[in-house]
Amino acid sequence: MEPAITTGYVFPNDLHIMWSLMIVIYPYVTGLVAGAFIVSSLYHVFQQRELRPVARLSMVGSLAFLLVATMPLLAHLGHPERALNIVVTPHFTSAMAAFGMIYTLYLILVIFEIWLVYRKPIIQLARRSRGFKRWFFATLALGVYDTSERAMQVDRRTITVLAGLGIPAACILHGYVGFMFGSVKANPLWSTPLMPIIFLFSAVTSGIAMVIVLYQTLMKFSGKSISGACVQSLAQWLWLFATITATLEILEIVTLAYERSEEWVVVGELITHKIPFSFIGVQMIFGSLIPFLLLGIVVLMRRFLTDPLRNTITFLAAFILLIQVFSMRWNVVIGGQIFSKSMVGFRELYVPRLFEREGIVTALAIMILPFIFLALFNHFLPLYESDQEEAPGAPTET
């Protein structure tokens, strides 16, 4: 006999949702980090030449979001200064301490790779600039002014190696987030082996989608033409990862429903009565089905589409998928806390406030910071390559 959903189910330590909007933003931002880096690696490692226009943008975009990835966690902590204890006195059995080490190593790797990619433009700017600007770029050059063909070949090989090492590092960086939720045995919505895999594939999906949105927006504001081959390739990769992500999300729920364990009583009630709009409406129908159809048109009917139409459809699908991944993070983090630990009832729905430490304004400020960084970076070093410029990390013919 199935237990009824009753009142009087909340334990004394179970009154409030503890992980709020900041813990939704945190895996969302780290997903953009990993996904954007994967796009740059498709060019540098797997020699997808059509992705050259976004090779720099995706790499610098990964760094931009990486720099703010810890801010949601710091905003969530009552004493953010205690976060330094992870660095000063790490405990190697702690998943959070492991994240600190992975984050630091990945940050160093990305910065070094970006320096190699921009080394030649930095040297050129240091030579032709004057005053503070010359000193600034001379400092960035680190005293290395060799731009010979042999030096560029060494740079290309090093970039390829770093990009190759960065792929598993990016996967571990975000797969760890899924592991954090999946390892919570007391929560049936989280404790599933598919959780790290779903987080990882949705991260790649959101990263590719963000690169598409950034690339087309940057080209429009710069007055440059959008590469049709680049957008087509990004659309194909996005369609693949979005399809896999949606399939895994459906399989996770279908598995829980098929097992019909005692936890499904409350999980099924959660999905169908407590968060049907955000899960069924936004995440599955609007966020998954519509982009699947739009990208399917771009991929399967590419010969019949004009460049402007293809770019518009791809941009729209990418923007919707960014919403889909955010809704998935919301449904996992917030939805997983709505039902009580007693497994016989629900808390009140969580609604973030506008002005508070973990409110909507704080979340928007954190999400805006990477775009400000990209704008400043592009002011000094271009996020796209000119037609005459050859990237140091460009794949060479064999």
pLDDT on residue 35:
93
Residues β-bridged to residue 339: 346
Region of poorest pLDDT, from 31-45, 66-80, 298-312, 321-335: 66-80
pLDDT on residue 196:
87
pLDDT on residue 161:
94
pLDDT on residue 388:
46
Can you tell me the distance from the alpha carbon of 284 to that of 267, in angstroms, rounded to the nearest whole number? 17
Q: Which residues contact 185 (CB under 8 A, 6 or more apart)?
A: 191
Name the amino acid, one letter, at 217: T
How does residue 11 score in pLDDT terms, banded at 50, 70 and 90? low
Confirm if 24 and 334 have CB atoms less than 8 A apart: yes
Q: What is the mean pLDDT of the chain?
A: 87
pLDDT of 320 higher than 90: yes
Tokens of 139: 């400092």
Q: What is the DSSP string of 191-255?
A: --THHHHHHHHHHHHHHHHHHHHHHHHHHHHHTPPPPHHHHHHHHHHHHHHHHHHHHHHHHHHHH
- Output 234 or 223, whichever has higher pLDDT: 234
Residues β-bridged to residue 346: 339
Integer-rounded Cα Rg, in Å, for the chain is: 23
How does residue 396 score in pLDDT terms, banded at 50, 70 and 90? low
pLDDT on residue 393:
53
**21-380: in CATH 1.10.274.30:** no
pLDDT on residue 395:
57
DSSP letter for 339, please: B
Rounded (5°) CA angle 99-104-105:
100
pLDDT in tens, 202-217: 999 999 999 999 999 9
pLDDT on residue 9:
63
- 331 to 85, 135, 278, 356: CA distances (angstroms): 31, 49, 7, 21
Report CA 242 to chain centroid distance, whole Å. Answer: 13
pLDDT in tens, 25-50: 999 999 999 999 999 999 999 989 99
Q: Which residues contact 240 (CB under 8 A, 6 or more apart)?
A: none
pLDDT of 5 higher than 50: no
pLDDT in tens, 339-367: 777 667 777 778 888 888 889 999 999 99
How does residue 390 score in pLDDT terms, banded at 50, 70 and 90? low
- Segments making up each domain of the chain, as ranges: 21-380
